Amino acid sequence: MSGAEDRRAPPPGRAAARRPVAPRLGRGLLLAAFSLLFVLYVAGPVAWLVSSSLQTEAQATAVPPNWLPPEPTLANFEAIFRAAERVVTYETRRQGDPATGGFLPTGAQNLLPSLRNSLVVGLWVAALNLLLSLTAAYAIAVIDFRGRRATLYTVLATRVIPDIALVVPLFLVIRALGLINSLAALVVTYLAVTVPFTIFILISYFEGIPRDLYRAARVDGCGHWGALRQVYLPLSLPALVAALTFAFLTSWNEFVFALVLTQNVEAQTLPIVISGFVMDFTTSFSFVNAAGVIAIVPPVLLAVLFQRYIVSGLTAGAVKG
Amino acid sequence: MATIVCEGLTKRYGAVTALEALDLTIAHGEFMVLLGPSGCGKTTTLNLIAGLEEASAGRLLFDGRDVTWLPPHRREVAMVFQSYALYPNKTVFENIAFPLRLRRTPRAGIERAVRAAAEQLEIAHLLDRRPHQLSGGQRQRVALGRAIVRNPAAFLMDEPLSNLDAALRLSMRSLIKRLHHQLRATFVYVTHDQAEAMTLADRIAVMRGGLIQQLDTPEGIYERPANLFVAGFLGSPPINLIEGRIEDGAFRRAELRLPAPRAEPGREVVLGLRPEDVEAPAPHLIPLAGRVELVSPLGSDTYAEVSGPAGTSLTLRVPKGWRVREGEGIEVGVDPARLHLFDRASERRIA
Amino acid sequence: MRGMFARRAVLAATGAAALGAAGLGARAARAQAGGTVNFIGWSAAVDQVRAQISAFERATGIRVNYENFPWAQFRTALVTRLVGNAPIDVSWISDAWLPEFAEAGWLAPIDDIPELMKYNAEAAEYCTQSMRYRGRQYGLAYYGDHMSFMVNAELLQRAGIAAPPATWDEVVEASLRIKRQGIAEYPLLLSLAADTWLIEFVSALVFSHGGRFVDERGEAVMADPARGAVRAARFLREAIHTHRIVSPGAVETAEINGLRAFGSGAHAFAIVPTYRIRALNDPSQSQAAGRIRLALMPKGGPEGTNETCGWIRFYGMTPGAKNDRARRERAVRFIEFFGGRDTAGNYSMQKLLLTDLGLPFCTLPLNEDPEVQGFWTRWAGEGGGAVIAAQSARTRKKDVISPWFGEWVETANQAWQSVCLGRAEPEAAMRAAAAKWTELRRAFR
Amino acid sequence: MPRLGYDERAAALLVFPVVAVLLVVAAFPILYSFWVSLHDVVLTRPLRRPFVGLDNYLRVFADERFWIAVARTTVYTVVTVAATTVLAVLVALLLNEAFPGQRLLNALLLLPWATPSVVNGLMWKWIYDPSYGLLNGLLVQLGVLERYRAWLGDPDLTLLLIANAAVWKQMPLAALLLIVTMKAIPEDLYRAAKVDGAGAFRRFLHVTLPALRPGLMLVLVYETMISIRHFDLFLIMTQGGPGDASFTLSWFIYVETFRSLRFGTGAALSYILAMATFLLSYLFIRFLGRRL
């Protein structure tokens, strides 16, 4: 104890050697302050979205706002999951304009089918994207063939064109293929959107894998497919997961193409149906927010689940710049 | 086991020629070393033999069979790399077994072959480990195991010892030599280390700029370097080179004069003298005197940097038993038969 | 089927066939099978449509494939589907799109179908006129309505205003009084978001100022300072920026949000589609219920009139449906059941839309129906029905309806919004809209 | 012509699927779009599509809406990219420190990134709502505002408010890329700087910032490329309004194409935007890449 006492009160001459307490405290305070700001900014809006989705319409539109749900209710979510069950006849119809009455957007029963569509499209895109970009990235990164650079640049160049610029011709192409309003149209489109970036990620990652491993595999008896499967696939897991997550999230989020290429509940994805609520005659804020929460859950789960891989997977691609 | 024949083998990358019309025959069971500085085309040659790169021109024959367009996995060659190139996600056992699995060898056969190879390389106790748990020497043994477990047409080695420390390098060197004796297989070994080349090779191909400079036994290359480059590349410390011209059947440079009976007069030449080719002065030797500038004792030998006649600076091995001091004079004898003469323009050997 | 096959072949060539096999392929063609009518509309009166559909299906055995989209996306969605050859039989159509769609060949005339044409005899003349283009008729009415001037009687009373204002100047005066007394921050409610209602709102303002966008010959007169459009624009600007009786937030207030705000009792005056009166006076939907009354559209300026803007929405048939015997038969029965009399001989859909939602109809015989008369008295108050009838007689259809309406209205909306924001002089804004009109009109030929 | 070896055949086979997809869904549309931009294609007049040469482009350049859109797009892009980059650097600096709870913050960072942009749009629209919005509620409760006011309806604020929503969503990825780059900075550099007596700020200026260059480069190019083409937020939040306050190029393309159904001018506009994007990225890489 006394030893500690001593150290805390050093002779004046040795003050310079003392651990600087004040700056460390300052650093702690600074970090805490910044962290608080960060949390408020990043999580605040989503927290408010979730909070209002658990309120009734009256509570959600109260002035001043209810920061937390006064009596949390799952009614909005229930409405979403029950929307398809209702059969409408003269007897069971709701009188009055739903615009101000029932507070349930007419597109509500499309929400679950669109959730399914989004999932189906996302999973297909993720899977096919992986297959396509894996093979292409392998070929470009590993095999020395004529036109290799040209292929790479062409692939990357397709992403320089803004989506909105592709929308018109793509609509015409998809129409010519007879694929308007099909999930296949979305899958193919999203592949084209995501593949260049995932190829880029994978190439960067592949280039980090020692060339000698490739040579060893080849002389050990692997063809190109074998080398890809036996060496590159198992060794680039983080990049693969990052690419997969990226592909899924992109197709989950995508809006412009889906807006133009789909027409009804058979192919519409979640963003389209939700944007419909906002522009509908009916706007129930609490309901729309509940739909928003549903749309956020899968990608957030995915992102948090694969957090480690996303960062390390991006690493190779990023730092080379 | 195979004889490997390269006929006019050429490799170009765009405008750059990495290998220019290589003609090389490697006999069955021969230990061929490709020696040269980096970028000389030796690794390209190895890759072409392995099939890892495709030739721009020329042919490659294994036992008379044209394999030029055969991909590596159909060529039955085994390869060992400087970086060991072990599959990090596989155990030692699986690493060694990998080529066999690809060939659909029956399970029992694989087990037996891997064990045998592991015993031979004294790594049987490591079979369950993963590569990152091994030391460098152990890793290279595993890599060797992966090569010898099959029955390849040839063993290709790409600077396999360069990543090891000096002591380990020596023991691995003798291990490889032993393997060659046991297997009696064709070895093609790429290195930039002349000592490895000299100790291991049946024949050495010294390469530079995509061309073979000299193809000969180690002794031949050391004794009769075909040109200035080969002379300079082999030997440690390197050969002393002195520019001068031939006059009256002798090499002349200012006051320095050394007999060169067979050279034609008037030629601009470079004279080569290996540091180790000097002895205590004797009547049949030509005397060479100078002042010692720096002494480098290596234990077994002592070398001295000497400022010699005609403004030359020479590195000489101090004859056994001598004591020299910096700043003192020294006089040694040179056997004229051990002098090398090169044409200065063509850099080729004259005598 | 041959077309289908060719498409599949293209698919296979592009490597997408696998997707088709995996259940991701186009499924649009399926809906054509069997006795089905494909009907699309915007998401309004959805429950009433569904109720009527179940009655239709029971009465005829024909199945209905019903889809709806938000109104804001509807025109785009419909057009892309028409271009994409989606199998639509019947669709709701706005009068504003008729010339454009008829020119493009997306709507089939019905004047050679006597089963439908017979209803003209019992329909209001302006409705029938609104469904005609170049002398041919293109459908049966879903509903017809006009913009109404509505007042919150209670607020007026509190401010000591006895009668609803008769001119826009009086509206300003009354509003300032209400504002001064602190009864309402912004007494006049206008919903001027750049959505599809904007042109109807400003048309009502222009007409009541005695103005026109376009004259009888189709020439743009909106930029003429002597005609009402510029005056109406100036009124808007002053109401927002000088008098501050209209919220500057009006430019982001959509029709539905305006309705809610008016229903909350925060405003004394508003321009609202007539059919909203039912919701506004319904206690379950509106806090101001029972206090909202109708008045004639105030007159504006020296040449002001009580005229307002009216519109019609109707059931249109696609050429694809008309050219196929079986599809046409089903589509005709559907249109008749919804836009005319049902199989029991009643105008059941018209009545349902009125009594449930307050949507006014075009069929004259229903006016005699005591239930209908009772409806107006109940929801629009004593004499409300008479005001509606009087206003209805002073209703003009949008004079900007033309094949290039869809393009022009984008520019026009921006021009009006700029005026509201105080970013453009009324004259300049109207000149821009007029220039666009002239340009498009010329380009059309 | 040398023969195709095993490698080239394998490469062709491996690359083919991607090339096929890109040809059909990207390359062909790009070329087709160019063809359309040279014709007067109006969807409502399906039978008539005359070749008009560069008329569509000239029409666009003569249209005053185009120049308004260019101005709005420029402001929006500059604000978004600048704010995203600065915030991302700050966040990266914060998350690169080791402190308790840092892992949690890292996880939170993924929240905006994973939020679909449509949800992002409606969430912020809801926050900005003039009657019920959180922003109004917060400012009134804090006493900053006297009464609720319109936010998106204020033409001077619209672009900034939309930009804020965009920054919220884009900042995390930018920060991630920067964190990754920071982690690659050798610790020795910091030690050397400390020995040389550099304080925290100087260390940031002379060690971190230069080393961040490749990451910053990537962030700048990427953010510019996506900001310049933003569309979803404009559709959800303002539809180009109020007036023309948020009338950006991509919104103009949408209006021209899918509201006016003028595919010809729409395609011309798209091409102009694409060229601008391309040029901008090129200039960035060419000039900034060296100096930054």
B86: CATH: 3.40.50.300
Q: Which residue segments constitute the domains of chain C, with CATH numbers given? A: 2-143+313-362 (3.40.190.10), 146-309+397-444 (3.40.190.10)
Q: What residues make up the domain containing D150?
A: 38-291
Q: Which of A107-116, C372-381, D68-77 has the highest mean pLDDT?
A: D68-77
Of C68, C9, C100, which is closest to residue C407 (Cα–Cα)? C100
pLDDT tier at C4 (50, 70, 90 boundaries)?
Answer: very low
Distance CA B309, CA B327 (A): 15
Question: Is residue D286 in a domain?
Answer: yes
Q: Is the pLDDT of residue B125 over 50?
A: yes
DSSP state at residue C297: P
Distance CA A74, CA C222 (A): 52
Per-residue pLDDT of A234-249, as tens digits, reads 888 888 888 888 899 8
Which one of D13, D15, D44, D253 would you mutate to disrupt binding with C, by most C Cβ within 10 Å of its Cβ?
D44
Question: Is residue D21 in a domain?
Answer: no
State whether B187 and B108 are in the same domain.
yes
The answer to whether residue A300 neighbours chain D at the CB level (below 8 Å) is yes
Distance CA A316, CA C309 (A): 63
Question: Is residue D252 in a domain?
Answer: yes
Q: What value does the mean pLDDT take over residues D183-196?
A: 79
CB A247 within 8 A of CB A129: yes
Distance CA C99, CA C134 (A): 8
Mark yes or no for CB contact B69/D5 under 8 Å.
Answer: yes
Lookup: tokens for C239? 């109401």
State whether B77 and B217 are in the same domain.
yes
Of B135, A124, B325, which is closest to residue C24 (Cα–Cα)? A124
Distances (CA, A) of B18 to B38, B209, C343: 11, 7, 90
- Total domains in chain B come to 2
State whether B61 and B124 are in the same domain.
yes
pLDDT tier at C11 (50, 70, 90 boundaries)?
Answer: very low
pLDDT tier at D178 (50, 70, 90 boundaries)?
Answer: confident
State whether B185 and B247 are in the same domain.
no
CB D237 within 8 A of CB D121: yes
What is the reported pLDDT for C347? 93
What's the mean per-residue pLDDT of chain D? Answer: 84
Distance CA D185, CA D187 (A): 6
Q: What value does the mean pLDDT take over residues A169-187?
A: 84
State whether B211 and B286 are in the same domain.
no
State whether B145 and B268 are in the same domain.
no
What is the reported pLDDT for C1? 36
Q: Which residues of D touch B69 (CB under 8 A)?
A: 3, 5-6
Mark yes or no for CB contact A38/D179 under 8 Å.
Answer: no
Identity of the amino acid at B327: G
CB C266 within 8 A of CB C258: no
Angle between helix C348-357 and helix C46-60 axes, rounded to 10 deg: 160
Give the one of C70, C263, C286 whose C-beta lies nearest to A280's C-beta: C70
Q: Is the pLDDT of residue A160 over 80?
A: no
Regarding chains B and C, contact by 3 or more CB pairs under 8 A is answered as no
DSSP line for C119-159 = GGGGB-HHHHHHTEETTEE-EEEEEEEEEEEEEEHHHHHHT
The residue out of B232, B266, B286 marking a domain boundary is B232
Shortest alpha-carbon distance between residue A142 and chain B (Å): 11
What is the reported pLDDT for A106? 65
Q: How many residues does chain B have?
A: 351
Angle between helix A285-305 and helix A75-82 axes, rounded to 10 deg: 90
Q: Is the pLDDT of residue D77 over 90?
A: yes
Which one of C5, C30, C43, C260 would you mutate to disrupt binding with A, by most A Cβ within 10 Å of its Cβ?
C43
Q: Is the pLDDT of residue C21 over 60?
A: no
Angle between helix A270-279 and helix A111-142 axes, rounded to 10 deg: 140
Distance CA C374, CA C372 (A): 5
Question: Any idea what the CATH number is for the domain that residue B275 is in?
Answer: 2.40.50.140
Per-residue pLDDT of D28-64, as tens digits, reads 888 888 888 898 887 777 667 788 888 889 988 988 8
Lookup: tokens for D126? 């809801």
What is the reported pLDDT for B250? 84
- Total domains in chain D come to 1
Q: Which residues of A touch B83 (CB under 8 A)?
A: 210, 212
Q: CB-based contacts of D274: which residues, under 8 Å, 6+ apart?
A: A160, A161, A162, A165
B186-191 vs B31-35, strand pairing mode: parallel
Question: Is residue D29 in a domain?
Answer: no
Chains in contact with A, where contact requires at least 3 CB pairs less than 8 Å apart: B, C, D
What's the mean per-residue pLDDT of chain C? Answer: 86
Q: What value does the mean pLDDT take over residues B30-50?
A: 92
Identify whether A64 is preceded by a cis peptide bond (ω within 30 of 0): yes
Angle (nearest 5°) at CA D81 between D75 and D87:
125
Q: What value does the mean pLDDT take over residues A24-45?
A: 87
Q: What value does the mean pLDDT take over residues A88-106?
A: 62
Query: Environment class of residue C120 by beta-carbon count within 10 Å: exposed (0-12), middle (13-18) or buried (19+)?
Result: middle
Q: Is the pLDDT of residue A11 over 60?
A: no
State whether B159 and B300 are in the same domain.
no
State whether B184 and B244 are in the same domain.
no
Sign of the torsion angle spanned by Cα atoms A165, A169, A175, A177: negative
Per cent of chain C over pLDDT 70 is 92
CB B267 within 8 A of CB B318: no
Of A237, A310, A258, which is closest to residue A121 (Cα–Cα)? A258
Per-residue pLDDT of B148-187, as tens digits, reads 998 888 999 999 998 888 888 999 999 999 999 998 899 9
Sign of the torsion angle spanned by Cα atoms C238, C438, C411, C314: positive
Residue B304: φ, ψ to 5°: -130, 135
Q: Is the pLDDT of residue A192 over 80?
A: yes
Q: What value does the mean pLDDT take over residues B300-317?
A: 88
Mark yes or no for CB contact A218/B47 under 8 Å.
Answer: no
The residue out of B205, B232, B259 marking a domain boundary is B232
First and final CA of chain D: distance in angstroms?
Answer: 44
Q: How many residues does chain D have?
A: 292
Q: Which of residues 259-288 of A touch C (CB under 8 A)?
A: 260, 263-266, 276-277, 279-283
Distance CA A137, CA A123 (A): 20
Q: Which of B347-351, C49-53, C84-88 has the highest mean pLDDT?
A: C49-53
Q: Which residues of B touch D1 (CB under 8 A)?
A: none
Per-residue pLDDT of C236-264, as tens digits, reads 999 999 999 999 888 888 888 888 889 88
Task: Find the closest chain A residue to B143 by CA distance.
Answer: A216
What is the reported pLDDT for D277? 84
DSSP state at residue A235: H
pLDDT tier at D288 (50, 70, 90 boundaries)?
Answer: low
Query: Environment class of residue A11 by beta-carbon count within 10 Å: exposed (0-12), middle (13-18) or buried (19+)?
Result: exposed
Q: Which fold has domain A107-320?
A: MetI-like fold (1.10.3720)
Q: How many residues does chain C have?
A: 445
Helix segments in chain B, DSSP class H: 42-50, 92-102, 107-121, 136-148, 166-183, 194-200, 218-223, 228-233
Lookup: tokens for A278? 């906002």
Distance CA B141, CA A210 (A): 19
Element (H, E) at C86: none
Q: Is the pLDDT of residue A289 over 70?
A: yes
Of D79, D66, D64, which is closest to residue D248 (Cα–Cα)? D66
Distance CA D6, CA A238 (A): 30
Question: Is residue D138 in a domain?
Answer: yes
Mark yes or no for CB contact B56/D2 under 8 Å.
Answer: yes
Per-residue pLDDT of C412-442, as tens digits, reads 998 999 999 888 899 999 999 999 999 989 8
State whether B49 and B187 are in the same domain.
yes
Mark yes or no for CB contact D214/A302 under 8 Å.
Answer: no
Sign of the torsion angle spanned by Cα atoms A231, A235, A238, A241: positive
Lookup: tokens for D217? 């480069």
pLDDT tier at D3 (50, 70, 90 boundaries)?
Answer: low
Chains in contact with D, where contact requires at least 3 CB pairs less than 8 Å apart: A, B, C
Distance CA A282, CA A270 (A): 18
Q: Is the pLDDT of residue C170 over 90?
A: yes
pLDDT tier at C30 (50, 70, 90 boundaries)?
Answer: very low
Sign of the torsion angle spanned by Cα atoms C249, C313, C357, C175: positive
What residues are paired with B292 via a beta bridge?
B306
Distance CA A38, CA D90 (A): 10
Question: Is residue D280 in a domain?
Answer: yes
Of D69, D116, C423, which is closest to residue A292 (Cα–Cα)? D116
Question: Is residue B348 in a domain?
Answer: no
B154-158 vs B186-191, strand pairing mode: parallel
pLDDT tier at A279 (50, 70, 90 boundaries)?
Answer: low
Identity of the amino acid at B326: E
Total CB pairs under 8 A between chain B and D: 11
Mark yes or no for CB contact A218/B52 under 8 Å.
Answer: yes
Which one of B13, B83, B130 would you mutate to disrupt binding with A, by most A Cβ within 10 Å of its Cβ?
B83
Of A170, A177, A316, which is closest to residue A254 (Cα–Cα)? A170
DSSP state at residue A62: -
**CB neighbours of residue C9 within 10 Å:** 11
Of A271, A262, A206, which is closest to residue A233 (Cα–Cα)? A206
Question: Is residue B210 in a domain?
Answer: yes
Q: Is the pLDDT of residue C372 over 80?
A: yes
Q: What residues make up the domain containing B37?
A: 4-232
CB C169 within 8 A of CB C302: no
The residue out of B232, B251, B270 marking a domain boundary is B232
State whether B51 and B147 are in the same domain.
yes
Mark yes or no for CB contact D232/A255 under 8 Å.
Answer: yes
Which one of D25, D127, D250 would you mutate to disrupt binding with A, by most A Cβ within 10 Å of its Cβ?
D25
Q: What value does the mean pLDDT take over residues B23-27?
A: 93
The answer to whether residue C323 neighbours chain A at the CB level (below 8 Å) is no
Distance CA D8, CA A144 (A): 8
Location of structure tokens 């050697």:
A17
What is the reported pLDDT for B177? 93
pLDDT tier at A281 (50, 70, 90 boundaries)?
Answer: low
Give the one of A92, A93, A100 whose C-beta lies nearest to C279's C-beta: A100
Q: Is the pLDDT of residue C93 over 90?
A: yes
